[in-house]
């Protein structure tokens, strides 16, 4: 299933190659900032029913590739389909974050299934199958899941929570129960990613959006080790599986993460110091990132300067241009066009 | 005013000395987790009127020193007294965060005074004067202010805001107006800190609680450069003034911060990787930190292990034991006792 890797720019970078024109895609490139997304969104009852409608989810995945010519399409879905497929109730209210039945104490873990329900996820695999033959030949199809720590923060808090206090406290107070939840998520995520590869994705990204709130020792236990187990087990089932890690906010812990986790590339958030990233991260592995999504929203000179600084920092090595987090809903489409033009013009001139 | 520095453990560490028993204090060591604080708090109409009542504010400052024998007392006040003294309306609702008249656009900056109103801050200086003769001889009195970036985030958003989006967007869209606000805060903060030294503090801490949300280039412009100007101007007015910087979340940007800002020590938040901190930060400057406040709240083995890891990492150099952020209101007093006992027993045995 990894045929064609030689001709797809993103897969070439994941193999360690430096390209004069770095491939470009954006986290949350499919979404509310696009008028064509908003018009499809109206056709689905809820956000989750859109994720689970293969026809609509495939269309939404393709929209930004069609409009902007990105080098990758990322499956339109959500990291919380995994708790859903483990039997936890998950809903998304419009304009608010997700809502889950919070796992308030160790006993609540009994409510979860022992393994992931692939029937519940069948529409996701069908979306991937539909996308497989619809993408331009140079475009890479990326699947994803949330990292166990990040998914657990939502499962325990019942939604987003400032600094993930409920999950951090649960882990301190009930380390064995928390380890059991993480182990369940390691297995579920490995299974889920393997099925995504079998359905047709060519690379996956593991989103650890809340990696940045943990002390070093907890980060090692709840982020690094579980992700290392996922990547190891996934490669056993899907030899050569390409994986991008995105431990947002890991900062000074990134070298430890890369020493332990065999990802092919690492996504950098927008706060990392660029010379540190070049010398201590890109020297080890291809990097992806890391434009501030607010610079993209603001546009103008702020955007141009931020794009230039990133190209300057990372163009000397294997590099995928991306944001440092997802596209914000109020982002003007014209700013995305300006970004792509600038990346392609500036980098080509080197 | 810096007499006695030879005998006060905290000032010895700020002068670069390594002590076998590191001094200990905790950010927000005076506050809601203490029953004696809650009983004083009832006597004041509002949080701000407590800050501006020298008798009560001095008493509240002394409470944790009396109960726990900390090596420092930190002035009981709030970083938002500076916007208050610049003419912005600031209130604190119980159980919620602060509320300010948001500075929504560049024109709103006209509402601010051109310089800080020391009359409005006179009760703070009187609190310091009262404290000066009431502390045990080995205890250091610490004053503080917020860093310009962090104070500006509250002034622009009108309160706390997830990832400080309003201020970041203001800075991208109106860089000149934002620079003018920062310049006003640099001047106001320098004046404010100089007056605190004149009233009797022996060291100050500059809290940059929201330093962690900025890209490297913005961090340099809005955090590093303004704080460097404050420290330079303060030392001109108060020769030898001792300053602790606390750029929370600065992570990989900490070496840049220390290269440019002449602080005597740097506070580390709880997320920094310990070997990075020892090798790349403590090698340059004394460090202060960095226990996860949630580990203190959780107590038990989680607390013991976290304390031990920090002592292990930093005891070889100049070091002040502290949290990586403020004490949380639900923290049991017994956990603070356990922390102090462990720090004093473990470190003494080295």
What are the tens digits of pLDDT across the range A168-187? Answer: 999 999 999 999 999 999 99
Cβ atoms of B21 and B70 within 8 Å: the answer is no
Q: Kindly report which listed range (A237-251, A334-348, B113-127) carries the lowest average pLDDT score.
A: A334-348
Which chain A residues in 170-199 lie under 8 Å from chain B, judged by CB atoms?
Answer: 172-173, 175
How many CA atoms, within 13 angstroms, populate the side-chain half-sphere of residue B46?
12
pLDDT confidence of residue B215: 96
What is the per-residue pLDDT for B5? 47
Whether domain A9-293 has CATH 3.20.20.210 = yes
* pLDDT at residue number A109: 97
Instruction: Say yes or no for a CB contact (<8 Å) between B173 and A271.
Output: no
The residues with which A267 forms a beta bridge, in sequence order, are: A288
Ramachandran class of B332: left when φ > 0, alpha when ψ lies in -120 to 50, beta otherwise: beta
The pLDDT of residue A4: 47
> Is some CB atom of chain B closer than 8 A to the CB atom of A251?
yes
Question: Closest by alpha carbon to B264, among B328, B217, B331, B206?
Answer: B206
Distance CA A121, CA A192 (A): 8
Q: Is any Cβ of chain A less than 8 angstroms from the Cβ of B327?
A: no
Mean pLDDT of the B125-154 span: 97
DSSP helix/strand/coil, A210: coil
Average pLDDT value over all residues in chain B:
95
Instruction: Return the pLDDT at B7.
Output: 87
Tell me whether A277 touches chain B (CB under 8 Å). Answer: yes
End-to-end CA distance of chain B: 33
Q: How confident is the model at residue A6 (pLDDT cuts 50, 70, 90)?
A: low
pLDDT of residue B1 exceeding 60: no
> In this structure, what DSSP letter does residue A349 have?
T
Kindly report, residue by residue over A279-336, the tens digit of the pLDDT. 999 999 999 999 999 999 999 999 999 999 999 999 999 999 999 999 999 999 999 9
SS3 A25: coil
pLDDT surpassing 50 at residue A220: yes
Quickly state the pLDDT bin for B255 (edges 50, 70, 90).
very high
Chains A, B: CB contacts within 8 A come to 113
Reduced to 3 states, what is the DSSP secondary structure of residue A37? helix
Length of chain A equals 350
Q: How confident is the model at residue A348 (pLDDT cuts 50, 70, 90)?
A: low
Q: Beta strand pairing status for A90-92 and A203-208?
A: unpaired
Active site residue A168: no
Average pLDDT, chain A: 95
ipTM value, please give it. 0.93
What mean pLDDT is predicted for residues A2-7? Answer: 58
Provide φ and ψ at A285, rounded to 5°. Answer: -155, 150
Candidates B154, B191, B229, B278; catalytic one:
B154
| CA of residue B297 relative to chain centroid, distance | 20
Distance from CA of A272 to the nearest CA of B (A): 6
Q: Does residue B6 sit at the A interface (CB-CB below 8 Å)?
A: no
Other Cβ atoms closer than 10 A to B109: 16
Distance CA A108, CA A86 (A): 13
The pLDDT, as a whole number, for residue B95 is 74
Give the Cα separation of B57 and B50 in Å (integer). Answer: 6
Using the Cβ of A340 and the Cβ atoms of chain B, whether some distance falls under 8 Å is answered with no
- How many angstroms separate the most distant Cα atoms in chain A? 60
Position A269 pLDDT exceeds 50: yes
Q: Would you state the pLDDT for residue A347? A: 64
| Chain A positions in Cβ-Cβ contact with residue B304 (cut-off 8 Å) | none
Q: Does domain B9-348 match CATH 2.160.10.10?
A: no
Alpha helix stretches (DSSP H) within A200-316? 216-219, 225-237, 254-260, 274-276, 293-298, 300-314
> pLDDT value at position A1?
45
Q: What is the bridge-based pairing of β-strands A265-267 and A287-291?
A: parallel
Q: How far apart are CA B227 and CA B182, in angstroms?
A: 10
Q: Which residue among B162, B273, B295 sits closest to A253, beta carbon to beta carbon?
A: B273
- Residues of chain B with pLDDT > 70, as a percent, come to 97
Element (H, E) at B343: helix B333-348
Instruction: Assess contact for B287 and B310: CB atoms under 8 A.
Output: no
**CA-to-CA distance for A78 and A5, rounded, in angstroms?**
26
Nearest CA among B269, B150, B158 for reference residue B213: B150
For residues B250-279, give the mean pLDDT: 97
Instruction: For B158-203, give the DSSP string.
Output: TS--GGGHHHHHHHHH-HHHHHHHHHHHHHHHHHHHHHHHHHT-SE
- Whole-angstrom CA distances from A118 to A149, A183, A261 are 21, 18, 26
**Domain map of chain B by residue range?**
9-348
Q: pLDDT-derived band of residue B347, with 50, 70 and 90 as boundaries?
A: low
pLDDT at residue B4 tops 60: no
Q: Which of A337, A174, A338 is nearest to B302 (CA)?
A: A174
Report the alpha-carbon distance of residue A282 to residue A318 in Å, rounded. Answer: 7
Residue B349 has pLDDT above 90, yes or no: no
Note the helical H segments in A117-161: 118-132, 148-157
User: How confident is the model over B42-55, as a mean pLDDT?
Assistant: 96
Distance CA A309, CA A287 (A): 15
Q: Is the pLDDT of residue A206 over 90?
A: yes
- pLDDT digits over B280-316, tens only? 999 999 999 999 999 999 999 999 999 999 999 999 9
- The SS3 of residue B148 is helix
- The answer to whether the CB of A46 falls within 8 A of the CB of A92 is yes
Could you confirm whether A32 is annotated as catalytic?
yes
Pairing between β-strand A319-323 and β-strand A287-291 as defined by DSSP bridges: parallel
């Amino acid at each position: 299933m990894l045929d064609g890797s030689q001709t797809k720019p993103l897969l070439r970078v994941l193999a360690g190659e430096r390209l004069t024109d770095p491939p470009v895609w954006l986290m949350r490139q499919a979404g509310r900032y696009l008028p064509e997304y908003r018009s499809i969104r109206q056709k689905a009852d809820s956000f989750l029913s859109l994720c689970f409608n293969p026809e609509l989810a495939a269309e939404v995945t393709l929209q930004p590739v069609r409009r902007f010519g990105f080098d990758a399409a990322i499956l339109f879905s959500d990291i919380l389909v995994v708790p859903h497929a483990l039997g936890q109730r998950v809903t998304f209210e419009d304009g608010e974050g997700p809502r889950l039945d919070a796992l308030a104490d160790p006993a609540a873990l009994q409510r979860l299934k022992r393994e992931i329900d692939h029937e519940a996820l069948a529409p996701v695999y069908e979306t991937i199958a539909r996308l497989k033959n619809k993408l331009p030949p140079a475009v890479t199809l990326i699947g994803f899941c949330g990292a166990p720590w990040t998914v657990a923060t939502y499962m325990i808090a019942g939604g987003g929570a400032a600094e993930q206090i409920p999950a951090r406290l649960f882990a301190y107070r009930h380390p064995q129960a928390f380890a059991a939840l993480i182990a369940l998520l390691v297995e579920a995520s490995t299974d889920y990613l393997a099925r995504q590869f079998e359905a047709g994705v060519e690379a996956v990204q593991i989103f650890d959006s809340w990696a940045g709130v943990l002390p070093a020792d907890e980060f090692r236990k709840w982020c690094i080790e579980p992700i290392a187990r996922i990547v190891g087990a996934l490669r056993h089932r899907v030899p050569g599986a390409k994986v991008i890690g995105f431990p947002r906010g890991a900062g000074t812990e990134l070298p430890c993460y890369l020493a332990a986790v065999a990802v092919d590339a690492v996504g950098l958030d927008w706060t990392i110091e660029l010379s540190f990233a070049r010398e201590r991260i890109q020297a080890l592995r291809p990097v992806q990132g890391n434009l501030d999504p607010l610079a993209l929203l603001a546009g103008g000179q702020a955007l141009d300067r931020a794009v230039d600084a990133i190209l300057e920092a990372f163009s000397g090595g294997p590099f995928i241009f991306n944001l440092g987090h997802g596209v914000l809903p109020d982002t003007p489409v014209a700013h995305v066009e300006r970004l792509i033009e600038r990346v392609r013009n500036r980098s080509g001139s080197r």
